[in-house]
Structure 1
Amino acid sequence: MSRPLVVDTVAGLRARIRDWRRDGLRVAMVPTMGALHEGHLSLVRIALERAERCIVSIFVNPTQFAPSEDLDKYPRQLARDLDQLALAGADLAYTPGVGEMYPAGFATKISVGGPSAGLESDFRPTFFEGVATVVAKLLLQASPDVAVFGEKDYQQLCVVRQLCRDLNLPVEIIGAPTIRDAHGLAMSSRNAYLGEAELQIARRLNVILRKAAAALAAGADQNGATGEASRALLAAGFHKIDYVEARESRTLTPWRRGHEGRLLAAAWLGKTRLIDNVDVSTS
Protein backbone atom coordinates (compact mmCIF):
# COMPACT_ATOMS: atom_id res chain seq x y z
CA MET A 1 0.00 0.00 0.00
CA SER A 2 1.70 3.16 -1.21
CA ARG A 3 1.06 6.79 -0.39
CA PRO A 4 -0.64 8.90 -3.04
CA LEU A 5 1.45 10.95 -5.42
CA VAL A 6 2.04 14.43 -3.96
CA VAL A 7 2.07 17.55 -6.15
CA ASP A 8 2.17 21.14 -4.96
CA THR A 9 1.82 23.18 -8.15
CA VAL A 10 -1.04 23.83 -10.55
CA ALA A 11 1.18 22.73 -13.45
CA GLY A 12 2.01 19.43 -11.76
CA LEU A 13 -1.64 18.81 -10.93
CA ARG A 14 -2.82 19.47 -14.47
CA ALA A 15 -0.08 17.33 -16.01
CA ARG A 16 -1.19 14.30 -14.00
CA ILE A 17 -4.85 14.92 -14.79
CA ARG A 18 -4.04 15.17 -18.51
CA ASP A 19 -2.53 11.69 -18.33
CA TRP A 20 -5.66 10.34 -16.67
CA ARG A 21 -7.92 12.03 -19.19
CA ARG A 22 -5.86 10.60 -22.03
CA ASP A 23 -6.60 7.17 -20.61
CA GLY A 24 -10.34 7.94 -20.47
CA LEU A 25 -10.54 8.04 -16.67
CA ARG A 26 -13.06 9.99 -14.63
CA VAL A 27 -11.61 12.23 -11.92
CA ALA A 28 -13.05 13.12 -8.51
CA MET A 29 -11.84 15.73 -6.03
CA VAL A 30 -12.17 16.03 -2.25
CA PRO A 31 -11.13 19.51 -1.02
CA THR A 32 -9.83 19.52 2.59
CA MET A 33 -7.72 21.55 4.98
CA GLY A 34 -5.91 18.45 6.21
CA ALA A 35 -5.88 17.01 9.75
CA LEU A 36 -7.80 14.16 8.16
CA HIS A 37 -10.16 11.89 10.07
CA GLU A 38 -12.71 9.21 9.20
CA GLY A 39 -15.13 11.86 7.95
CA HIS A 40 -12.67 12.92 5.26
CA LEU A 41 -11.82 9.33 4.38
CA SER A 42 -15.50 8.57 3.86
CA LEU A 43 -15.55 11.34 1.24
CA VAL A 44 -12.63 9.69 -0.57
CA ARG A 45 -14.45 6.36 -0.63
CA ILE A 46 -17.57 8.01 -2.05
CA ALA A 47 -15.43 9.81 -4.64
CA LEU A 48 -13.92 6.51 -5.77
CA GLU A 49 -17.41 5.10 -6.29
CA ARG A 50 -18.00 7.88 -8.83
CA ALA A 51 -14.62 8.05 -10.55
CA GLU A 52 -11.50 5.99 -11.26
CA ARG A 53 -9.12 8.57 -9.81
CA CYS A 54 -9.39 10.70 -6.66
CA ILE A 55 -7.50 13.90 -5.85
CA VAL A 56 -7.51 15.16 -2.26
CA SER A 57 -6.42 18.75 -1.83
CA ILE A 58 -4.81 19.71 1.48
CA PHE A 59 -4.64 23.46 1.92
CA VAL A 60 -5.28 25.51 5.06
CA ASN A 61 -6.96 28.45 3.37
CA PRO A 62 -6.05 31.74 5.06
CA THR A 63 -8.78 33.76 3.35
CA GLN A 64 -11.56 32.00 5.24
CA PHE A 65 -10.09 32.79 8.67
CA ALA A 66 -10.82 36.09 10.40
CA PRO A 67 -7.91 37.76 12.25
CA SER A 68 -9.31 36.53 15.58
CA GLU A 69 -9.62 32.90 14.45
CA ASP A 70 -7.33 29.90 14.77
CA LEU A 71 -5.34 29.92 11.50
CA ASP A 72 -1.95 29.51 13.21
CA LYS A 73 -3.23 26.81 15.57
CA TYR A 74 -5.10 24.83 12.93
CA PRO A 75 -3.61 21.30 12.98
CA ARG A 76 -1.15 20.50 10.20
CA GLN A 77 0.06 16.90 9.95
CA LEU A 78 0.85 16.11 6.33
CA ALA A 79 2.76 12.86 6.90
CA ARG A 80 -0.11 11.38 8.89
CA ASP A 81 -2.62 12.66 6.34
CA LEU A 82 -0.77 10.90 3.52
CA ASP A 83 -0.82 7.65 5.48
CA GLN A 84 -4.57 8.04 5.93
CA LEU A 85 -5.07 8.73 2.23
CA ALA A 86 -3.11 5.60 1.35
CA LEU A 87 -5.54 3.56 3.44
CA ALA A 88 -8.51 5.19 1.72
CA GLY A 89 -7.11 4.66 -1.77
CA ALA A 90 -6.63 8.27 -2.88
CA ASP A 91 -4.47 8.64 -5.97
CA LEU A 92 -3.07 12.14 -5.57
CA ALA A 93 -2.61 14.67 -2.78
CA TYR A 94 -2.56 18.26 -3.98
CA THR A 95 -0.69 20.33 -1.39
CA PRO A 96 -0.20 23.87 -2.73
CA GLY A 97 1.41 26.56 -0.60
CA VAL A 98 -0.17 29.95 -0.01
CA GLY A 99 2.05 31.48 -2.70
CA GLU A 100 0.79 28.97 -5.28
CA MET A 101 -2.87 29.63 -4.47
CA TYR A 102 -2.58 33.36 -3.90
CA PRO A 103 0.47 34.61 -5.82
CA ALA A 104 1.74 38.17 -5.53
CA GLY A 105 -0.81 40.57 -6.96
CA PHE A 106 -3.79 38.26 -6.42
CA ALA A 107 -6.83 40.56 -6.31
CA THR A 108 -9.98 38.50 -6.98
CA LYS A 109 -12.71 37.55 -4.51
CA ILE A 110 -15.91 35.61 -5.12
CA SER A 111 -19.04 36.49 -3.19
CA VAL A 112 -21.99 34.09 -3.25
CA GLY A 113 -25.40 35.29 -2.08
CA GLY A 114 -28.45 33.13 -1.46
CA PRO A 115 -27.59 30.33 0.99
CA SER A 116 -24.66 32.28 2.47
CA ALA A 117 -27.08 34.66 4.20
CA GLY A 118 -27.20 34.45 7.99
CA LEU A 119 -26.05 31.57 10.19
CA GLU A 120 -22.25 31.40 9.78
CA SER A 121 -22.15 34.75 7.97
CA ASP A 122 -23.63 36.52 10.98
CA PHE A 123 -20.59 35.51 13.03
CA ARG A 124 -17.89 35.06 10.35
CA PRO A 125 -18.70 37.77 7.76
CA THR A 126 -15.81 37.00 5.38
CA PHE A 127 -15.89 33.21 5.72
CA PHE A 128 -17.89 32.26 2.64
CA GLU A 129 -16.06 34.74 0.46
CA GLY A 130 -12.86 32.89 1.34
CA VAL A 131 -14.50 29.48 0.87
CA ALA A 132 -16.05 30.38 -2.49
CA THR A 133 -12.80 31.82 -3.81
CA VAL A 134 -10.64 28.86 -2.86
CA VAL A 135 -13.19 26.25 -3.97
CA ALA A 136 -13.60 27.96 -7.34
CA LYS A 137 -9.82 27.99 -7.76
CA LEU A 138 -9.47 24.31 -6.83
CA LEU A 139 -12.25 23.25 -9.19
CA LEU A 140 -10.81 25.31 -12.03
CA GLN A 141 -7.31 24.00 -11.38
CA ALA A 142 -8.37 20.35 -11.36
CA SER A 143 -11.53 20.37 -13.52
CA PRO A 144 -12.85 17.20 -11.84
CA ASP A 145 -15.96 15.38 -13.00
CA VAL A 146 -17.24 15.24 -9.43
CA ALA A 147 -16.33 16.86 -6.11
CA VAL A 148 -17.40 15.56 -2.72
CA PHE A 149 -18.18 17.74 0.32
CA GLY A 150 -19.46 16.66 3.73
CA GLU A 151 -22.90 17.57 5.02
CA LYS A 152 -21.40 18.43 8.41
CA ASP A 153 -20.58 21.85 6.93
CA TYR A 154 -24.09 22.07 5.51
CA GLN A 155 -24.24 25.78 4.76
CA GLN A 156 -20.86 25.53 3.03
CA LEU A 157 -22.19 22.67 0.87
CA CYS A 158 -25.17 24.80 -0.16
CA VAL A 159 -22.89 27.74 -0.98
CA VAL A 160 -20.64 25.52 -3.13
CA ARG A 161 -23.65 24.18 -5.03
CA GLN A 162 -24.88 27.74 -5.64
CA LEU A 163 -21.40 28.77 -6.81
CA CYS A 164 -21.21 25.94 -9.35
CA ARG A 165 -24.74 26.55 -10.64
CA ASP A 166 -24.24 30.28 -11.02
CA LEU A 167 -20.84 30.05 -12.73
CA ASN A 168 -21.76 26.98 -14.84
CA LEU A 169 -18.80 25.04 -13.47
CA PRO A 170 -18.97 21.60 -15.13
CA VAL A 171 -18.64 19.53 -11.97
CA GLU A 172 -21.16 17.42 -10.08
CA ILE A 173 -21.23 18.35 -6.38
CA ILE A 174 -21.97 15.42 -4.09
CA GLY A 175 -23.03 15.92 -0.47
CA ALA A 176 -21.85 13.10 1.79
CA PRO A 177 -23.49 12.12 5.11
CA THR A 178 -21.88 13.34 8.33
CA ILE A 179 -19.65 10.75 10.01
CA ARG A 180 -20.10 10.59 13.77
CA ASP A 181 -18.35 8.88 16.65
CA ALA A 182 -20.06 6.19 18.69
CA HIS A 183 -21.73 8.91 20.79
CA GLY A 184 -23.09 10.89 17.83
CA LEU A 185 -20.50 13.68 17.82
CA ALA A 186 -19.81 14.89 14.29
CA MET A 187 -16.18 14.25 13.40
CA SER A 188 -14.19 17.46 13.00
CA SER A 189 -10.53 18.41 12.96
CA ARG A 190 -11.31 20.88 15.74
CA ASN A 191 -12.43 18.06 18.06
CA ALA A 192 -8.72 17.61 18.74
CA TYR A 193 -8.85 20.83 20.78
CA LEU A 194 -11.29 19.30 23.28
CA GLY A 195 -10.33 17.70 26.58
CA GLU A 196 -12.15 14.63 27.85
CA ALA A 197 -14.63 16.63 29.95
CA GLU A 198 -15.38 18.90 26.99
CA LEU A 199 -15.88 15.90 24.73
CA GLN A 200 -18.59 14.63 27.05
CA ILE A 201 -20.38 17.97 26.71
CA ALA A 202 -19.81 18.13 22.95
CA ARG A 203 -21.55 14.80 22.52
CA ARG A 204 -24.76 16.37 23.80
CA LEU A 205 -24.97 18.70 20.80
CA ASN A 206 -26.37 16.16 18.36
CA VAL A 207 -28.70 14.66 20.98
CA ILE A 208 -30.25 18.05 21.73
CA LEU A 209 -30.56 18.97 18.05
CA ARG A 210 -32.29 15.69 17.23
CA LYS A 211 -34.78 16.23 20.04
CA ALA A 212 -35.55 19.73 18.73
CA ALA A 213 -35.88 18.47 15.14
CA ALA A 214 -38.31 15.78 16.28
CA ALA A 215 -40.35 18.41 18.12
CA LEU A 216 -40.49 20.58 14.99
CA ALA A 217 -41.55 17.62 12.85
CA ALA A 218 -44.29 16.87 15.38
CA GLY A 219 -45.68 20.40 15.09
CA ALA A 220 -43.92 22.34 17.85
CA ASP A 221 -43.61 26.11 17.57
CA GLN A 222 -40.37 26.89 15.76
CA ASN A 223 -39.15 29.65 18.06
CA GLY A 224 -40.10 27.59 21.09
CA ALA A 225 -38.26 24.48 19.88
CA THR A 226 -35.07 26.32 18.90
CA GLY A 227 -35.14 28.40 22.08
CA GLU A 228 -35.50 25.27 24.18
CA ALA A 229 -32.58 23.69 22.29
CA SER A 230 -30.40 26.72 23.04
CA ARG A 231 -31.27 26.57 26.72
CA ALA A 232 -30.56 22.83 26.81
CA LEU A 233 -27.14 23.36 25.23
CA LEU A 234 -26.24 25.96 27.85
CA ALA A 235 -27.49 23.68 30.61
CA ALA A 236 -25.35 20.85 29.17
CA GLY A 237 -22.21 22.98 29.57
CA PHE A 238 -21.78 24.92 26.32
CA HIS A 239 -20.60 28.43 27.10
CA LYS A 240 -22.22 30.37 24.25
CA ILE A 241 -24.70 29.62 21.48
CA ASP A 242 -24.22 31.46 18.20
CA TYR A 243 -27.38 30.08 16.62
CA VAL A 244 -29.91 27.28 16.52
CA GLU A 245 -32.09 27.78 13.45
CA ALA A 246 -34.36 25.79 11.15
CA ARG A 247 -33.84 26.43 7.43
CA GLU A 248 -35.13 24.93 4.18
CA SER A 249 -32.76 22.23 3.02
CA ARG A 250 -31.92 23.49 -0.46
CA THR A 251 -32.12 27.28 -0.24
CA LEU A 252 -31.43 27.82 3.48
CA THR A 253 -34.29 30.30 3.58
CA PRO A 254 -36.36 30.20 6.79
CA TRP A 255 -38.03 26.82 7.18
CA ARG A 256 -41.74 26.44 6.48
CA ARG A 257 -43.68 23.50 7.83
CA GLY A 258 -44.27 20.84 5.21
CA HIS A 259 -40.96 21.57 3.45
CA GLU A 260 -37.70 19.66 3.74
CA GLY A 261 -35.68 21.26 6.51
CA ARG A 262 -32.40 21.35 8.36
CA LEU A 263 -31.82 22.39 11.93
CA LEU A 264 -28.39 24.02 12.15
CA ALA A 265 -26.41 25.07 15.21
CA ALA A 266 -23.11 26.58 16.28
CA ALA A 267 -21.99 26.54 19.90
CA TRP A 268 -18.84 27.22 21.90
CA LEU A 269 -16.94 25.06 24.37
CA GLY A 270 -14.21 27.26 25.77
CA LYS A 271 -12.23 28.47 22.73
CA THR A 272 -13.57 25.73 20.44
CA ARG A 273 -16.55 26.39 18.19
CA LEU A 274 -18.58 23.39 17.08
CA ILE A 275 -21.18 23.23 14.33
CA ASP A 276 -23.69 20.52 13.50
CA ASN A 277 -26.97 20.01 11.69
CA VAL A 278 -29.77 17.45 11.51
CA ASP A 279 -32.61 16.75 9.13
CA VAL A 280 -36.11 17.94 10.00
CA SER A 281 -38.37 15.17 8.77
CA THR A 282 -41.47 16.18 6.81
CA SER A 283 -43.08 12.73 6.91
Structure 2
Amino acid sequence: MRIIADPATLSTLPQQPGVLVPTMGALHEGHFELIRRARSEAGPEALVMVSIFVNPIQFDRPDDLAAYPRTMEEDLEKCRAEGVDLVFTPDADAVFFPDRSTKVIESALSDTLCGATRPGHFDGVCTIVLKLFNLLRPTAAVFGEKDYQQLAIIRRMVRDLNIPVEIIGHSTVREPDGLAMSSRNARLTAEQRADAPRIRQAMLAAAEESTPETILSTARQAIESPLNQIDYLELVDAETLETATDLTQPSLLATAVFYNSVRLIDNLLIPAR
Protein backbone atom coordinates (compact mmCIF):
# COMPACT_ATOMS: atom_id res chain seq x y z
CA MET A 1 0.00 0.00 0.00
CA ARG A 2 1.37 3.40 -0.98
CA ILE A 3 0.78 6.36 1.37
CA ILE A 4 1.10 9.82 -0.16
CA ALA A 5 0.76 13.11 1.72
CA ASP A 6 2.24 15.55 -0.80
CA PRO A 7 -0.14 16.41 -3.68
CA ALA A 8 2.85 17.16 -5.92
CA THR A 9 3.88 13.51 -5.71
CA LEU A 10 0.61 12.43 -7.30
CA SER A 11 1.45 14.17 -10.56
CA THR A 12 4.56 12.00 -10.90
CA LEU A 13 2.63 8.74 -10.76
CA PRO A 14 1.67 6.96 -13.98
CA GLN A 15 -2.00 7.41 -14.74
CA GLN A 16 -3.89 4.20 -14.00
CA PRO A 17 -7.61 3.42 -13.70
CA GLY A 18 -8.74 3.66 -10.11
CA VAL A 19 -11.78 3.84 -7.84
CA LEU A 20 -11.69 6.43 -5.07
CA VAL A 21 -13.34 6.32 -1.64
CA PRO A 22 -13.15 9.85 -0.15
CA THR A 23 -13.21 9.84 3.67
CA MET A 24 -12.44 12.09 6.61
CA GLY A 25 -10.88 9.20 8.50
CA ALA A 26 -11.94 7.59 11.79
CA LEU A 27 -12.72 4.60 9.61
CA HIS A 28 -15.39 2.11 10.61
CA GLU A 29 -17.29 -0.79 9.04
CA GLY A 30 -19.33 1.59 6.91
CA HIS A 31 -16.15 2.85 5.25
CA PHE A 32 -14.91 -0.71 4.80
CA GLU A 33 -18.10 -1.57 2.92
CA LEU A 34 -17.40 1.35 0.58
CA ILE A 35 -13.81 0.15 0.12
CA ARG A 36 -15.02 -3.37 -0.66
CA ARG A 37 -17.50 -1.95 -3.15
CA ALA A 38 -14.64 -0.01 -4.72
CA ARG A 39 -12.61 -3.21 -5.04
CA SER A 40 -15.57 -4.95 -6.64
CA GLU A 41 -15.97 -2.11 -9.13
CA ALA A 42 -12.23 -1.81 -9.78
CA GLY A 43 -11.65 -5.45 -10.56
CA PRO A 44 -8.13 -6.90 -10.69
CA GLU A 45 -6.58 -4.18 -12.87
CA ALA A 46 -7.62 -0.83 -11.36
CA LEU A 47 -6.40 0.74 -8.13
CA VAL A 48 -8.48 1.21 -5.01
CA MET A 49 -7.69 4.63 -3.55
CA VAL A 50 -8.76 6.14 -0.23
CA SER A 51 -8.37 9.76 0.76
CA ILE A 52 -8.20 10.61 4.46
CA PHE A 53 -8.65 14.34 4.92
CA VAL A 54 -10.68 16.27 7.49
CA ASN A 55 -11.79 19.06 5.20
CA PRO A 56 -11.91 22.32 7.18
CA ILE A 57 -13.96 24.26 4.62
CA GLN A 58 -17.02 22.02 4.92
CA PHE A 59 -17.48 22.53 8.66
CA ASP A 60 -19.92 25.24 9.72
CA ARG A 61 -19.03 24.99 13.44
CA PRO A 62 -15.42 25.35 14.67
CA ASP A 63 -16.15 23.11 17.66
CA ASP A 64 -17.31 20.32 15.35
CA LEU A 65 -14.10 20.56 13.32
CA ALA A 66 -11.98 20.53 16.48
CA ALA A 67 -13.82 17.53 17.95
CA TYR A 68 -13.87 15.43 14.77
CA PRO A 69 -12.04 12.16 15.58
CA ARG A 70 -8.62 11.70 14.04
CA THR A 71 -7.14 8.19 14.10
CA MET A 72 -4.64 8.21 11.25
CA GLU A 73 -2.39 5.32 12.32
CA GLU A 74 -5.34 3.02 12.97
CA ASP A 75 -6.95 4.10 9.70
CA LEU A 76 -3.83 3.26 7.71
CA GLU A 77 -3.61 -0.20 9.28
CA LYS A 78 -7.26 -0.82 8.43
CA CYS A 79 -6.73 0.33 4.84
CA ARG A 80 -3.78 -2.04 4.56
CA ALA A 81 -5.89 -4.91 5.89
CA GLU A 82 -8.60 -4.12 3.32
CA GLY A 83 -6.12 -4.26 0.46
CA VAL A 84 -6.21 -0.56 -0.45
CA ASP A 85 -3.57 0.30 -3.05
CA LEU A 86 -3.07 4.01 -2.37
CA VAL A 87 -3.99 6.27 0.55
CA PHE A 88 -3.86 10.06 0.15
CA THR A 89 -3.31 11.81 3.51
CA PRO A 90 -2.57 15.50 2.89
CA ASP A 91 -2.49 18.34 5.40
CA ALA A 92 -4.85 21.26 4.82
CA ASP A 93 -1.94 23.57 4.00
CA ALA A 94 -0.92 21.23 1.19
CA VAL A 95 -4.42 21.17 -0.30
CA PHE A 96 -5.52 24.82 -0.02
CA PHE A 97 -3.52 27.85 -1.07
CA PRO A 98 -3.52 30.54 1.64
CA ASP A 99 -4.90 33.12 -0.82
CA ARG A 100 -7.42 30.78 -2.49
CA SER A 101 -10.31 32.61 -4.11
CA THR A 102 -12.13 29.88 -6.03
CA LYS A 103 -14.81 27.47 -4.83
CA VAL A 104 -17.48 25.25 -6.36
CA ILE A 105 -21.10 26.20 -5.67
CA GLU A 106 -24.11 24.03 -6.52
CA SER A 107 -27.28 26.13 -6.45
CA ALA A 108 -30.28 23.84 -7.02
CA LEU A 109 -29.99 20.90 -4.62
CA SER A 110 -28.09 22.46 -1.74
CA ASP A 111 -30.65 24.86 -0.25
CA THR A 112 -32.67 22.31 1.72
CA LEU A 113 -31.89 19.68 4.38
CA CYS A 114 -28.26 19.95 5.52
CA GLY A 115 -27.69 22.88 3.18
CA ALA A 116 -30.31 24.97 4.96
CA THR A 117 -28.83 24.45 8.42
CA ARG A 118 -25.13 24.31 7.54
CA PRO A 119 -24.26 27.43 5.50
CA GLY A 120 -21.39 26.86 3.09
CA HIS A 121 -21.15 23.15 3.87
CA PHE A 122 -21.76 21.90 0.35
CA ASP A 123 -19.54 24.58 -1.18
CA GLY A 124 -16.77 23.01 0.88
CA VAL A 125 -17.79 19.47 -0.10
CA CYS A 126 -17.93 20.21 -3.82
CA THR A 127 -14.64 22.09 -3.75
CA ILE A 128 -12.69 19.35 -2.01
CA VAL A 129 -14.26 16.53 -4.04
CA LEU A 130 -13.37 18.28 -7.29
CA LYS A 131 -9.82 18.83 -6.02
CA LEU A 132 -9.54 15.14 -5.10
CA PHE A 133 -10.78 14.17 -8.54
CA ASN A 134 -8.21 16.45 -10.18
CA LEU A 135 -5.36 15.23 -7.99
CA LEU A 136 -6.07 11.49 -7.92
CA ARG A 137 -7.71 11.19 -11.37
CA PRO A 138 -10.03 8.28 -10.52
CA THR A 139 -12.27 6.69 -13.10
CA ALA A 140 -14.98 6.17 -10.46
CA ALA A 141 -15.73 7.15 -6.86
CA VAL A 142 -17.91 5.52 -4.20
CA PHE A 143 -20.09 7.51 -1.79
CA GLY A 144 -22.50 6.32 0.87
CA GLU A 145 -26.22 6.93 0.54
CA LYS A 146 -26.44 7.96 4.21
CA ASP A 147 -25.34 11.38 2.92
CA TYR A 148 -28.09 11.34 0.29
CA GLN A 149 -28.01 15.06 -0.40
CA GLN A 150 -24.23 15.03 -0.73
CA LEU A 151 -24.44 12.16 -3.22
CA ALA A 152 -27.08 13.98 -5.27
CA ILE A 153 -25.05 17.20 -5.32
CA ILE A 154 -21.84 15.44 -6.36
CA ARG A 155 -23.69 13.67 -9.16
CA ARG A 156 -25.03 17.03 -10.33
CA MET A 157 -21.57 18.61 -10.17
CA VAL A 158 -20.08 15.76 -12.21
CA ARG A 159 -22.88 16.06 -14.77
CA ASP A 160 -22.80 19.84 -15.06
CA LEU A 161 -19.01 20.14 -15.27
CA ASN A 162 -18.48 17.10 -17.54
CA ILE A 163 -16.15 15.46 -15.03
CA PRO A 164 -15.10 12.02 -16.34
CA VAL A 165 -15.71 10.18 -13.05
CA GLU A 166 -18.47 7.62 -12.50
CA ILE A 167 -20.27 8.24 -9.21
CA ILE A 168 -21.33 5.05 -7.41
CA GLY A 169 -23.79 5.20 -4.52
CA HIS A 170 -23.68 2.51 -1.83
CA SER A 171 -26.51 1.75 0.56
CA THR A 172 -26.28 2.99 4.16
CA VAL A 173 -24.39 0.62 6.44
CA ARG A 174 -26.04 0.19 9.84
CA GLU A 175 -25.33 -1.14 13.28
CA PRO A 176 -27.35 -4.22 14.34
CA ASP A 177 -29.82 -1.90 16.12
CA GLY A 178 -30.38 0.16 12.97
CA LEU A 179 -28.28 3.23 13.77
CA ALA A 180 -26.48 4.46 10.67
CA MET A 181 -22.73 3.97 11.03
CA SER A 182 -20.87 7.24 11.47
CA SER A 183 -17.52 8.39 12.79
CA ARG A 184 -19.52 10.71 15.05
CA ASN A 185 -21.16 7.79 16.86
CA ALA A 186 -18.00 7.33 18.89
CA ARG A 187 -18.64 10.72 20.52
CA LEU A 188 -22.03 9.67 21.93
CA THR A 189 -22.32 8.87 25.62
CA ALA A 190 -23.59 5.40 26.53
CA GLU A 191 -27.03 6.86 27.26
CA GLN A 192 -27.14 8.76 23.98
CA ARG A 193 -25.96 5.72 22.03
CA ALA A 194 -28.78 3.64 23.54
CA ASP A 195 -31.28 6.32 22.55
CA ALA A 196 -30.05 7.05 19.01
CA PRO A 197 -31.59 3.98 17.26
CA ARG A 198 -34.96 5.68 17.71
CA ILE A 199 -34.08 7.74 14.62
CA ARG A 200 -34.24 4.75 12.29
CA GLN A 201 -37.22 3.23 14.11
CA ALA A 202 -39.14 6.50 13.80
CA MET A 203 -38.53 6.77 10.08
CA LEU A 204 -39.64 3.21 9.41
CA ALA A 205 -42.83 3.77 11.39
CA ALA A 206 -43.53 7.10 9.70
CA ALA A 207 -43.16 5.59 6.22
CA GLU A 208 -46.33 3.57 6.87
CA GLU A 209 -48.40 6.77 7.03
CA SER A 210 -50.47 7.94 4.07
CA THR A 211 -49.79 11.69 3.75
CA PRO A 212 -46.75 13.95 3.99
CA GLU A 213 -48.23 15.61 7.05
CA THR A 214 -48.75 12.38 8.98
CA ILE A 215 -45.36 11.04 7.91
CA LEU A 216 -43.66 14.09 9.38
CA SER A 217 -45.75 14.25 12.55
CA THR A 218 -45.27 10.55 13.27
CA ALA A 219 -41.53 10.77 12.69
CA ARG A 220 -41.16 13.86 14.86
CA GLN A 221 -43.05 12.37 17.79
CA ALA A 222 -40.99 9.18 17.65
CA ILE A 223 -37.59 10.85 17.23
CA GLU A 224 -37.91 13.45 19.98
CA SER A 225 -36.53 12.53 23.38
CA PRO A 226 -35.12 14.42 26.38
CA LEU A 227 -31.63 13.55 25.10
CA ASN A 228 -31.83 15.04 21.62
CA GLN A 229 -32.87 18.00 19.53
CA ILE A 230 -34.04 17.80 15.92
CA ASP A 231 -32.02 20.03 13.60
CA TYR A 232 -34.34 19.38 10.67
CA LEU A 233 -36.93 16.81 9.63
CA GLU A 234 -38.20 17.05 6.08
CA LEU A 235 -39.98 15.07 3.39
CA VAL A 236 -38.64 16.02 -0.03
CA ASP A 237 -38.89 14.85 -3.62
CA ALA A 238 -36.17 12.21 -4.03
CA GLU A 239 -34.91 13.78 -7.26
CA THR A 240 -35.28 17.55 -6.84
CA LEU A 241 -34.97 17.62 -3.02
CA GLU A 242 -37.83 20.14 -2.96
CA THR A 243 -40.60 19.80 -0.37
CA ALA A 244 -42.91 16.88 -1.19
CA THR A 245 -46.54 17.96 -1.30
CA ASP A 246 -47.90 14.48 -2.06
CA LEU A 247 -46.66 10.91 -2.43
CA THR A 248 -47.15 10.44 -6.17
CA GLN A 249 -43.37 10.59 -6.75
CA PRO A 250 -40.58 8.85 -4.82
CA SER A 251 -39.77 10.91 -1.74
CA LEU A 252 -37.05 11.09 0.86
CA LEU A 253 -37.66 11.39 4.58
CA ALA A 254 -34.49 12.98 5.94
CA THR A 255 -33.38 14.22 9.33
CA ALA A 256 -30.48 15.56 11.33
CA VAL A 257 -30.58 15.13 15.10
CA PHE A 258 -28.30 16.64 17.73
CA TYR A 259 -27.22 14.74 20.82
CA ASN A 260 -25.55 17.66 22.57
CA SER A 261 -22.93 18.70 19.99
CA VAL A 262 -22.98 15.40 18.06
CA ARG A 263 -25.03 15.72 14.88
CA LEU A 264 -26.39 12.50 13.33
CA ILE A 265 -28.09 12.26 9.94
CA ASP A 266 -30.26 9.59 8.38
CA ASN A 267 -32.81 9.18 5.61
CA LEU A 268 -35.34 6.79 4.17
CA LEU A 269 -36.56 6.53 0.59
CA ILE A 270 -40.34 6.19 0.29
CA PRO A 271 -41.66 4.76 -3.00
CA ALA A 272 -44.34 6.58 -4.99
CA ARG A 273 -47.92 5.64 -4.20
TM-score of the superposed pair, with normalisation by structure 2: 0.94
Q: 1:27 aligns with which of 18, 24, 33?
A: 18
Shift of 1:90: 0.9
Q: 2:218 aligns with which of 213, 228, 234?
A: 228
Partner of 1:12: 9
Contact 1:7 1:96 in 2 (8 A): yes
1:1-283 alignment to 2 at 5 Å? 4-16=1-13, 18=14, 21=16, 26-51=17-42, 52-215=46-209, 220-234=210-224, 236-255=225-244, 256-282=246-272
Q: Distance in 2 between matches of 1:176 and 1:88?
A: 17
May I ask how many residue pairs the two structures share in their alignment? 269
String of CA shifts for 1:147-205, please: whole Å, max 9, x gaps.
Answer: 00000111111111111111110000011111001000000000011111111110111
Structure 2 residue identity aligned to 1:204: R
Select between 98-107 and 245-254 the one with higher mean Cα deviation: 245-254
Contact 1:47 1:54 in 2 (8 A): yes
Counterpart secondary structure, 2:77: helix
Q: Distance in 2 between matches of 1:38 and 1:13?
A: 28
Structure 1 residue identity aligned to 2:89: T
Shift of 1:238: 4.3
Q: Distance in 2 between matches of 1:100 and 1:181?
A: 35
Contact 2:208 2:215 in 1 (8 A): no
Counterpart secondary structure, 1:170: coil
Structure 2 residue identity aligned to 1:156: Q
Counterpart secondary structure, 1:104: coil
Q: Distance in 2 between matches of 1:122 and 1:238?
A: 23
Contact 2:206 2:214 in 1 (8 A): no
> Identity over aligned residues, as a percent?
39
Shift of 1:251: 2.2
- Residue segments in structure 2 that go unaligned for 5+ positions in a row: none
Q: Distance in 2 between matches of 1:155 and 1:245?
A: 12
Structure 1 residue identity aligned to 2:8: A
Counterpart secondary structure, 1:165: helix
Structure 2 residue identity aligned to 1:48: R
Shift of 1:88: 1.6
Contact 1:34 1:78 in 2 (8 A): yes
Select between 99-108 and 163-172 the one with higher mean Cα deviation: 99-108
Q: Distance in 2 between matches of 1:153 and 1:55?
A: 20
Shift of 1:71: 0.8
Q: Distance in 2 between matches of 1:279 and 1:67?
A: 29
Contact 1:238 1:267 in 2 (8 A): no
String of CA shifts for 1:201-254, please: whole Å, max 9, x gaps.
Answer: 101110101111222xxxx221222022112211x4443112211122222122
Do the aligned partners of residues 224 and 238 (structure 1) sit closer, same or farther apart at CA in structure 2, a change above 3 Å counting? farther
Contact 1:214 1:281 in 2 (8 A): no
TM-score of the superposed pair, with normalisation by structure 1: 0.91
Q: Distance in 1 between matches of 2:202 and 2:61?
A: 31
String of CA shifts for 1:239-283, please: whole Å, max 9, x gaps.
Answer: 311221112222212234221221101111122111001111236
Structure 2 residue identity aligned to 1:53: L
- Residue segments in structure 1 that go unaligned for 5+ positions in a row: none
Contact 1:185 1:206 in 2 (8 A): yes
Shift of 1:68: 4.2
Contact 2:57 2:121 in 1 (8 A): yes
Do the aligned partners of residues 238 and 277 (structure 1) sit closer, same or farther apart at CA in structure 2, a change above 3 Å counting? farther
